[in-house]
Chain A
């Protein structure tokens, strides 16, 4: 497969997976912080690697902020959101590269729920003037909900989805080669 064809295949795959990420988040927007996004980002990172997942995350953050009625309250939250989501592939391909056990990944998902919330603190405190401790305290419950949602979705769905995605990925690239 030539580099050009490989790039086309990659672009199509990234677009499809970013769409899945976007649609599920939009569909679940009425539930505060309950979503499959963390599961999908962890899954994409483990199956596709850092580069493709980062592109998916960048597309997702751009699209969710342009198209979603539940996008950021202020545009200055966009960098926070981008950093918050990019932390996942960065950590999973560096510090936690060797982590494969589903329970450990689910526990990291729980932790990411809090890290995601904390990523919004600098802008919220410095730009909107919300007091730091009050923000930290009031956001804890949402971080907890996101963390629990991350834990349960990764714990139950990561393994079957990983098998399916690997098989689809191999088939996708193999079919092209053939």
Chain B
């Protein structure tokens, strides 16, 4: 009985530490203050179909801002968030199938756009930052 109680306590401690770490991973992806960022959206032919500044507020993720400004098509929520496969407004429509092509999210750093490793839900919007959404064919391989 004592052994089981100890196991329960140890398990709860381990789970609590894990829950804290997971929570830490997620919470830091929300904007810590209000601001704006610049967004470029390119279709499969690399044509710019949208370019403009988007406003965000404290607590927003990158996904929240996109969701407020565009109509998004998403895959069902996965473990680490939501995958955006399509985006549209009154002037353009982009839809990928997430098999042959997908929407790459890129951030401007050191003079070039670099693909992010995170999905839209995990990106913390930063004031003055430049982001780009680009349709990428799977066969294109790693972007430079």
Chain A residues in contact with chain B, CB under 8 A?
32, 103, 110, 128-131, 134-135, 137-138, 140-141, 144-145, 148, 151-152, 155-156
- Tell whether A134 pairs with B18 under 8 Å between CB atoms, given A129-B142, A155-B10, A156-B11: no
Is B49's CB within 8 Å of the partner chain A? Answer: no
Are B10 and A148 neighbours in the complex by a CB distance under 8 Å?
Answer: no
A137–B21 CB distance below 8 A: no
How far apart are A148's CB and chain B's nearest CB, in angstroms? 5
B105-144 interface code vs A (CB 8 A; 1 in, 0 out): 0000000001011100000000000000000000001100
Bound-state CA distance A140–B14 (Å) is 16
- Residue of B whose beta carbon sits closest to that of A147: B18
Residue of chain A at shortest CB distance from B11 = A152
Assess the B14–A138 pair: CB atoms within 8 A: no
**Shortest beta-carbon distance, B116 to chain A, in Å?**
8
Q: Is the CB of B18 within 8 A of A144?
A: yes
* A128-B142, A156-B7 as given contacts; A134 in contact with B117, CB under 8 Å: yes
Across the interface, do B117 and A32 meet the contact criterion of CB distance under 8 Å?
A: no
